[in-house]
A and B are shown apart, each in its own frame.
Chain A
Amino acid sequence: MSAHDVNALHSVLQSDGDPDPTRRRLLAGLVTAYTASLIPWALAQPAPDARRGAFAAVSAILAGRQSLDTVQATRLYDALVADDPGFADAVVSLLALINEQHIDPLQLQKTLDDAHSPLTALPRTIATAWYLGIVGSGARARCLAFESALNAVAVADVLKPPTYAYGVYGSWSTKPA
């Protein structure tokens, strides 16, 4: 992403308070060809506003999934913003960085760590929210998803989340399909 593109992204974001409900934009407007290659579905995904759109794009990149539940996205985003008022802008910055530097998701954490980036904690926060359903830490941690957390979804063809019945008595004795 060129400097011009970054500025364009921020300018899109600055128009966010627009109350016009017809101004729903597509995520495609927030990502570059590189990012879009990671999350091709995003090109057609509507975003209620640019910051939520950036969150959806970053979430998809980190989760490595081609579709994410939009209701879950809203709940997680609202909780993450409630925890950290700077969260929304940080996500925009992270997306801009991935766009600009064409960062492979597997290299993202190391890239941020090596650069001593202020965004270092952000990927783990977002990945934890999606994969474990947990937002916040320590005494402020709270659970927003359990059976719909992505780590449960990712193995749902073989395992049930704990407390959910696996099946009738003895059904666990057979080889997992």
Chain B
Amino acid sequence: MANDTSADFVVVGSGIIGSLTARKLALAGASVIILEAGPRVTRGELVARFRNSPRRSDWMSPYPPKAWAPHPVYQPADNGYLVQAGPYPYPAEYIRQVGGTTWHWAAHAWRNVPNDFRIHSLYGVGVDWPISYDDLEPYYQEAEEIMGVSGAPDTGSPRNKPFPMEPVAEPWAMRRVRERLAGTFPVVTNTTARNSRGYDGRPACCGNNSCQPICPIDAQYHGGLAADAAEAAGAKLVANANVYKLEHDAAGRVVAALYYDPDKTAHRVTGKTFIVAANGIESPRLLLLSASDKFPHGLANSSDMVGRNLMDHPSTSLTFDADEDLWLGRGPQSPSSINTMRDGAFRAEHAPYRLDFTNISRVDGATRALIADGVYGVELERRLRHSAARELNVKNVLEVLPRPEHRITLSDQKDAMGIPKPEAHYSIDDYTRKGHERSKDDFIRIAALMGGSNLRFSKDGDFANNQHICGTLSMGNDPATSVCDGWGRTHDHENLFLASTGILPTSGTCNSTENGVALALRTVQHMLAEQAGAAKPR
């Protein structure tokens, strides 16, 4: 081994969850090493890459994978990293670089609604969480104060303290949508980690409308900032360190993380406690890769649940032309939504959902569509302006239920480092499809209220993916049906914790990031309390 390092805590993954976990541990005085598979990249580089990209609507184009830390990309061609076993494709996107996938997100930072934690008890579907909304509430608040979250006052998630700032100013287009839908649909400003004022040294939003793939001014929070904060707190971050195996001792305690550097030289890092925070696909992959004679099915996998219950949020959508000029593209990309279908007795029958309005500029998409249609001459510019002004899009964000057959496994194909690739087994079940059918009624009513014409539904049977990977490391009270407990501790290994959206046992209807961050902050609180011999937090 070329290099030996050691720390109290070894965190695998420097994304927003891993980095905020490391930060909180380091602030408490612990020694922490973060191992990140990918490279360091600066915000300035990412902005330049986006502006120079020949695929501006492919938000992964500024984030090309490195050979030593591949991640899936699908344009200009599928790089084949995430092997698709079907029957329905799961083309997940994530980013292996310092700071992880939230370099590129819409900064939605929703809490669950309380009933999301009890859907089995209340509606007879899915599973209950091992913790309640009230258990998580203080950690939601902690996450929101770190990230600088704001939102509408009442979206079904009770709060004990106010948001740290006012909601972000509403774009004109969203105001018109809100006004014209009033009385039928309440349209509210989204809960986002986006500054409505200077906060924590970062400026207020100035409407660059490139939240995805990169906010050029850090007005929205992201994992790169979290990684910076972890390092500032004293954590040691090793980039380009692709962890391929966790080693354990005879008692089943994890003792070391083995990683390859870009030259495929192996390194060994030892620690007292290990936290896998490498997202909902790479985390189960690492546990499965760590199989040994003692644990032939991988670490934390005596239940055979590692990688199972893969969930996300599929979306279908409607695009139409409103009867007034709205000009999407002014202000942040994803400002407003309808939240009335997140919970209700109907959850016994079909998926709940949020309805999201995009404010992403229509200019590039309309241009491509017009050129594809062979529209040239003065009509090209005239129609381009018409579409850019009038086009509106609403999509659903549908819950997916946990199903063991939906899973991440190890492929028999290997990546450039000789490590088995992840393989996705996925489908869209009737519960989710029925939610989609129900939401089409809403789409049509929304279009009618906006004077919509030229209605274009997303292709029947096609569900877009939202990259909210969860479920693959599910937490639960029963070691036979879950991977970790409500604190994120694996049932099988006393000093191995999981901090990831993968531990969410159900997907709910909101983006998984804030749930993942809040759970991780709660996990850290537990670890610190345990170390101090103090009473455990709720």
Residues of A within 8 A of B (CB): 38, 61-65, 104-106, 108-110, 113, 123-124, 127-128, 131-132, 134, 136-139, 141-143, 146-147, 150-152, 154-155, 158-160, 162-176
Contact = CB atoms under 8 A, between A and B. Distances in A.
A78 B458 CA distance: 39
B209 interface: yes
Interface of B: 47, 50-56, 76-77, 169-172, 175, 196-197, 204-210, 214, 216-217, 325, 327, 329-331, 361, 363-364, 366-368, 371-381, 384-385, 388-389
Contact of A172 (B196, B207, B214, B363): B207
A62 B377 contact: yes
B172 A131 contact: no
B208 A105 contact: no
Contact of A127 (B207, B329, B376, B378): B376
16 contacts: A61-B376, A64-B379, A65-B381, A106-B375, A124-B372, A127-B380, A131-B384, A132-B364, A137-B76, A169-B204, A170-B169, A171-B206, A172-B169, A172-B171, A172-B207, A172-B330
A143 B57 CA distance: 13
The 5 A-B residue pairs whose C-beta atoms are closest, nearest first, are: A109-B374, A105-B377, A166-B207, A172-B331, A141-B54
Contacts of B327: 158-159, 176
Contacts of B374: 108-110, 113, 123-124
A21 B326 CA distance: 51
* Among A113, A127, A139: residue with most chain B CB under 10 A: A127
B386 to A, nearest CB: 11
Given A132-B368, A137-B76, 12 more contacts: A63-B377, A110-B374, A127-B376, A131-B380, A134-B54, A154-B385, A155-B385, A159-B330, A165-B208, A171-B206, A173-B170, A176-B389
B50 A163 contact: yes
Nearest to A134: B54
Nearest to A108: B376
Contact of B206 (A143, A155, A168, A173): A168
Nearest to A131: B367
A14 B373 CA distance: 35
A139 B76 contact: yes
Contacts of A173: 169-172, 175, 331
B207 A155 contact: no
A62 to B, nearest CB: 4
Contacts of A163: 47, 50-51, 208-210, 214, 216
Nearest to B325: A176
Given A108-B376, A124-B372, A139-B77, A172 B172 contact: yes
B213 to A, nearest CB: 9
Contacts of A127: 371, 376, 380
A151 to B, nearest CB: 4
B77 to A, nearest CB: 7
A64 B374 CA distance: 13
Contacts of A128: 371
Given A64-B381, A159-B363, A124 B206 contact: no
Which of B169, B175, B204, B206 has the most chain A CB atoms closer than 10 A to its own CB? B206
Nearest to B377: A105
A163 B46 CA distance: 11
B206 A167 contact: yes
Contact of B196 (A61, A159, A164, A169): A169
Given A152-B363, A166-B330, A174-B172, A131 B371 contact: yes
A138 to B, nearest CB: 5
Contact of B208 (A106, A152, A164): A164
Contacts of B171: 172-173
Contacts of A65: 381
B218 to A, nearest CB: 13
Contacts of B377: 38, 61-64, 104-106
A142 B54 contact: yes
Nearest to B359: A172
B77 A138 contact: yes
Nearest to A164: B208
Nearest to A173: B169
A160 B330 CA distance: 8
A165 to B, nearest CB: 4
